[in-house]
């Protein structure tokens, strides 16, 4: 089930808009390509890219690898059959990073779907929240490249990736939104590194994110992740599931 869910997270299909509605631009950077329809989405993407570049510069990492973000009316994950040949269902999501093709897909801000959704299950999807979700996907992309190019290690496990991406996402929210997010699930905390695992994430992803931020604030897990020395509970799960 664990490996199966990992596979699901890596699969997506693209719902394309008619070509004449789409625009492409690069946030004035050589390695960026944003495909969008609404200028607000483009602005959010450029600001999110600036944010993630500044964060990783503090970790002495820059990259010339392509950063590709495509905004869509609908971002969906295909749920494939056990032999992974046939899509048997699909699930609409806010955004995803497909590491197999190095592209991020993000829902357009001004869609009925996004405006009817709640950020972190309870909060209004503000422009700041929308931008933070792009930062979350960029954190996945940059962590992937950091492990490959700086640490010469394989991509970290799923729980470690989500722990890091949620930490960066919540850290970069504006104060008002961050306070509201951190007021959620006040009793929920990770108690040990091994309790950070994909089963917890799969059960309640946003709660996992808030728990990750709290745990990171009182530990050196982020430092360990960036040193390539962190072991989440997924290391154990992979041996049993």
Give me the residue whose beta carbon is nearest to Zn ion: 165
Binding residues for Zn ion, total number by CB under 5 A: 2
Nearer Cβ to Zn ion (42/94): 94
Nearer Cβ to Zn ion (34/95): 95
Nearer Cβ to Zn ion (131/162): 162
- Considering the complex, what minimum distance in angstroms separates the CB of residue 28 from Zn ion? 27
Per-residue DSSP letter, 155 = P
| Cross-strand bridge partners of residue 14 | 75
- Considering the complex, what minimum distance in angstroms separates the CB of residue 205 from Zn ion? 8
- Considering the complex, what minimum distance in angstroms separates the CB of residue 102 from Zn ion? 15
- Considering the complex, what minimum distance in angstroms separates the CB of residue 212 from Zn ion? 11
123: which 2 tokens? 């909060």
Note whether 96 binds Zn ion by CB under 5 A: no
User: What is the per-residue binding string for Zn ion in 146-185, x denoting contact by CB under 5 A?
Assistant: ----------------x--x--------------------
Nearer Cβ to Zn ion (32/93): 93
Query: What string of DSSP letters covers 7-47?
Result: HHHT--EE-PPPGGG-EEE-TT-TTEEEEESSHHHHHHHHH
Alpha carbon distance 186, 161 (integer Å): 23
E-state strands within the chain: 13-14, 23-25, 32-36, 67-72, 75-80, 87-93, 95-98, 103-107, 118-119, 123-124
- Considering the complex, what minimum distance in angstroms separates the CB of residue 19 from Zn ion? 29
| Contact call for residues 193 and 236 (beta carbons, < 8 A) | no
User: What is the per-residue binding string for Zn ion in 104-133, x denoting contact by CB under 5 A?
Assistant: ------------------------------
| Crossing angle (nearest 10°) for helices 127-149 and 39-58 | 40
Return residues touching Zn ion (CB under 5 A).
162, 165
């Amino acid at each position: 089930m664990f490996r199966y869910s990992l596979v699901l997270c890596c699969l997506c299909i693209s719902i394309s808009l008619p070509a004449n509605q789409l625009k492409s631009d690069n946030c004035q950077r050589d390695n960026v390509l944003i495909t969008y329809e609404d200028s607000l989405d483009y602005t959010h993407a450029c600001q999110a890219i600036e944010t993630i570049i500044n964060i990783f510069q503090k970790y002495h990492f820059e990259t010339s690898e392509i950063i590709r973000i495509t905004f869509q009316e609908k971002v969906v994950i295909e749920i494939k059959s056990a032999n992974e040949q046939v899509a048997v269902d699909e699930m609409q999501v806010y955004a995803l990073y497909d590491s197999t093709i190095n592209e991020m897909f993000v829902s357009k801000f001004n869609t009925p779907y996004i405006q009817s959704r709640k950020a972190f299950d309870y909060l209004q999807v503000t422009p700041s929240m929308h931008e933070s979700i792009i930062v979350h996907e960029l954190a996945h992309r940059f962590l992937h490249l950091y492990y490959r190019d700086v640490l010469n290690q394989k991509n970290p496990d799923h729980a470690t990736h989500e722990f890091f991406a949620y930490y960066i996402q919540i850290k970069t929210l504006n104060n008002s939104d961050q306070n509201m997010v951190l007021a959620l699930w006040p009793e929920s905390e990770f108690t040990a590194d091994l309790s950070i695992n994909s089963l917890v994430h799969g059960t309640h992803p946003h709660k996992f994110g808030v728990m990750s931020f709290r745990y990171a604030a009182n530990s050196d897990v982020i430092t360990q992740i960036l040193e390539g020395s962190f072991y989440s509970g997924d290391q154990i799960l992979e041996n049993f599931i």
